[in-house]
Chain A
């Protein structure tokens, strides 16, 4: 089966549906008409640009460009993690911890998957490497952001409890232990839930795309299972790393709770 090409007028038809929706919301005075149109235009522009970038990347397939793209992706994900925090660690630590933990976990799992499991040649073939990394980063970003946000927010609310536990002679990791476990769990729950619901409640987007592109459902399912597993692993380890590093940063060398290292809420 050959995939059917889409031309400009066909996309235009789909766009006119969005315009119709925005007219309806305008008439109903929902006040989202403008935001809807802007978002639609952004989708079109951003995706077209990334399409051009990927075309160029796939054409050269040089490792330095693949690496550059991967670094750019992880930095953008780190910025997004920071933007989703109510209270950040001061001095850029939220960005540093978020980016570094996602870098370590997603890069290790992606490279392992490429070299040991899928095995394209060369291993960094961008058609495999970039989408895999992208899906992992997208999920790891959510996990890390949720985990760090839960950590800092709970520490802020329970600072008196943590200090009282320190007064009783508990080491810092024991005094913050319950909160740290809770934060790690909340960062990992979304991916665990999505694994549990896969195929029953939702048809995962990647699998759908692969089927549309002409793959047999059996092959698409195999890829989807692989992707689910590596997403969960990447997100899980990323969250564990980020919450562990973030909670360490909240205490100093004398195991004092340094609530001054948390910014005011954004």
Chain B
């Protein structure tokens, strides 16, 4: 049984690099945007939440503490999709635990036989959308998206935004989304934080 609170992502006094005392809560189904100048430590914070970077403070998902869960299991729950995704096998399909349905492919405007393509054929925009699909295929309980629409055109960006929004609502996923574009933040964010020096400030 999943109660409303079991997928809440909570950061308490997290310190990583220049950033100090980051305390935020992302509840299930909510999209929280994170912005800040490049080099301000957004990506590092995301890596810390996924436990890929040593850090201080407490991070929890529901009632589970990060440090009490095996690291690979934690990352399977709190899934980081990096700005630049990596593809190591020959074809697209080999990277997916289970094939995504035709509906998801269509929703993201991806060719319906893209799974049989060679990696070399993919454009950067296709890689970015496929990385989202691949992450979802591992059934995470929270999503950390690092500029997931950086290589997409205006229309595909809108499609991807509403796809993520729908996904978050349906699966009750908390989503932390690094974004630059104020218009995009306006469209998707339930809450918006900006990195200001070593602090995280709520933008209202």
Which chain A residues have a beta carbon within 8 Å of chain B's beta carbons? Answer: 158, 160-161, 163-172, 178, 254-257
A161, B81: Cβ atoms closer than 8 Å: no
A163, B84: Cβ atoms closer than 8 Å: no
Supposing A254-B71, A256-B53, A256-B54 touch, asked if A165 and B88 sit within 8 A by C-beta, the answer is: yes
From A158, A164, A172, A257, give the contact of B72 (CB < 8 A): A172
Residues of B within 8 A of A160 (CB): 84, 86
Which chain B residues have a beta carbon within 8 Å of chain A's beta carbons? Answer: 50-54, 70-73, 75-77, 79-82, 84-86, 88, 134-135, 138, 140
B54, A169: Cβ atoms closer than 8 Å: no
Q: How far is the CA of A168 from the CA of B72 in the complex (A)?
A: 8
Distance between B49 CB and nearest chain A CB, rounded to angstroms: 11
Closest 5 CB pairs of A and B: A169-B76, A164-B86, A255-B71, A171-B72, A254-B71
Q: How far is the CA of A189 from the CA of B75 in the complex (A)?
A: 36
Supposing A165-B88, A256-B52 touch, asked if A170 and B81 sit within 8 A by C-beta, the answer is: no
Q: Which of A163, A169, A172 has the most CB of B within 10 A?
A: A169
Q: How far is the CA of A164 from the CA of B70 in the complex (A)?
A: 17
Supposing A167-B81, A169-B138 touch, asked if A254 and B86 sit within 8 A by C-beta, the answer is: no
From A158, A161, A169, A178, give the contact of B75 (CB < 8 A): A169
Distance between A229 CB and nearest chain B CB, rounded to angstroms: 36
Residues of A within 8 A of B88 (CB): 158, 161, 165, 178
From B72, B80, B86, give the contact of A255 (CB < 8 A): B72
From B53, B73, B79, give the contact of A168 (CB < 8 A): B79
B50, A168: Cβ atoms closer than 8 Å: no
A168, B75: Cβ atoms closer than 8 Å: yes
Supposing A161-B88, A163-B52, A256-B54 touch, asked if A168 and B71 sit within 8 A by C-beta, the answer is: no
Residues of A within 8 A of B75 (CB): 166-169
B82, A169: Cβ atoms closer than 8 Å: no
From B72, B81, B84, B85, give the contact of A169 (CB < 8 A): B72
Residue of B nearest to A251 (CB): B71
From B71, B81, B135, give the contact of A256 (CB < 8 A): B71
B135, A168: Cβ atoms closer than 8 Å: yes
Residue of B nearest to A254 (CB): B71
Q: How far is the CA of A28 from the CA of B67 in the complex (A)?
A: 68
Supposing A161-B86, A164-B82, A164-B86 touch, asked if A170 and B72 sit within 8 A by C-beta, the answer is: yes
Residue of B nearest to A164 (CB): B86
Q: How far is the CA of A255 from the CA of B72 in the complex (A)?
A: 7
Residue of B nearest to A167 (CB): B80
Q: How far is the CA of A185 from the CA of B55 in the complex (A)?
A: 37
Can you list 17 residue pairs at the A/B interface with Cβ under 8 Å?
A: A161-B86, A163-B52, A164-B82, A164-B85, A166-B72, A166-B75, A167-B52, A167-B81, A169-B73, A169-B75, A170-B72, A171-B72, A172-B72, A254-B71, A255-B72, A256-B51, A256-B54
Distance between A250 CB and nearest chain B CB, rounded to angstroms: 14
Q: How far is the CA of A161 from the CA of B85 in the complex (A)?
A: 8
Residues of A within 8 A of B51 (CB): 254, 256
Residues of A within 8 A of B50 (CB): 167
Residues of A within 8 A of B72 (CB): 166, 169-172, 255
